[in-house]
Amino acid sequence: MNPLSPSTVPAHVAIIMDGNGRWANARGLPRAMGHRKGVEAVREAVKTASECGVSYLTLFAFSSENWSRPESEVSDLMGLLKTFIRRDLAVLHKQNVRIRIIGDRQNLSGDILPLLLEAEETTRNNTGITLVIAFNYGSRDEMARAMRLLAAEVAAGRLDPSAITPERIGASLDTAGIPDPDLVIRTSGEERLSNFLLWQAAYAELMFVPEFWPDFSRETFIAALSRYAMRERRFGGLQPAATLAVGS
Ligand code: FPP
């Protein structure tokens, strides 16, 4: 059941799932356990977002900078993502969830790319919530890849530089066709965007919550959506009362 008023629910919520390692450290557990618990929080977040009427949920699963972590941790994270897709794909498909992957697909080794493609392909006609998984994703890398594509079009004489508008750039990013996030949440108390959706989050509301990602429960998520409902978004304009004052 949706506990929120549908008109105030953000269409697109993006989450930086931070704090798995600290959650584990605080319990004297290996970091891998934090990531494992993090996958449970992922399942709950998808369910909650869907029930609350969120249309797009983007999760930052693995950044292009995460490769610099110790090999064993990278391998843990890859394993968890693969297991998640293998185990949960059928369930997500049944729940009418559509999966989109953003991030650089070049040079991915092993069986990860076929699994990501299978997840997208299997769910492509689903009409429920879209789960966008940011994998091997970095915003600057995404923008550089888009710029290279546009530059190649210009060089080939198929695109006039004057046609490079914000809309055209947006349509060249991995998130083409996905509306910009209305709300970006980061867990664990850290207050930065860490190269996540920098272009797309231009007007997003930012919310930093203290919970480590494995503790990000249905209640925490709903509390964040309720706080979002109180925010006033102006997109560079004036608040309605000020508009009235100026106009009158
Ligand atoms: C940040 O915690 C989290 C990550 C780098 C990865 C998030 C991945 C998952 C939750 C599992 C796989 C994802 C899906 C979609 C199934 P951290 O390790 O940086 O924590 P710390 O800052 O406390 O060290």
Residues with CB under 6 A from ligand 1: 17-22, 35, 38-39, 42, 59, 61, 66, 77, 80-81, 84, 133, 213
Least trusted range by pLDDT, from 11-20, 89-98, 218-227, 237-246: 237-246
What's the pLDDT at 24? 98
- The predicted-structure confidence for 143-197, as pLDDT tens digits, reads as follows 999 999 999 999 999 999 999 999 999 999 999 999 999 999 999 999 999 999 9
What's the pLDDT at 62? 96
238 assigned to some structural domain: no
The encoded tokens of residue 164 equal 């490079």
Q: pLDDT over 70 for what percent of the chain? A: 96
User: Which atom of ligand 1 lies closest to the CA of 84?
Assistant: 16
199 assigned to some structural domain: yes
Provide DSSP, 75-100: HHHHHHHHHHHHHHHHHHHHTT-EEE
φ/ψ region of 110 (left if φ > 0, alpha if ψ in -120 to 50, else beta) reads left
Report the mean per-residue pLDDT for the chain: 95
102 assigned to some structural domain: yes
What's the pLDDT at 246? 46
pLDDT at 98 over 70: yes
48 assigned to some structural domain: yes
| Ligand 1 centroid distance, CA of 186 (Å) | 11
243 assigned to some structural domain: no
CA–CA separation, 60 vs 42, rounded Å?
11
Q: How far is CA 192 from the centre of its chain?
A: 15
Range of the domain at 86: 6-137+179-229
Per-residue pLDDT, averaged over 2-20, amounts to: 93
CATH number at residue 16: 3.40.1180.10
What's the pLDDT at 242? 54
Q: Which residues are catalytic?
A: 18, 66
The domain tally of the chain equals 1
169 assigned to some structural domain: no
User: Which atom of ligand 1 lies closest to the CA of 135?
Assistant: 15
What's the pLDDT at 137? 98
CA–CA separation, 18 vs 238, rounded Å?
34
- The answer to whether residues 109 and 36 touch, using CB atoms and an 8 Å cutoff, is no
Q: How confident is the model at residue 109 (pLDDT cuts 50, 70, 90)?
A: confident
111 assigned to some structural domain: yes
For 157, other C-beta atoms within 10 Å of its C-beta total 7
172 assigned to some structural domain: no
* pTM reported for the whole predicted model: 0.94
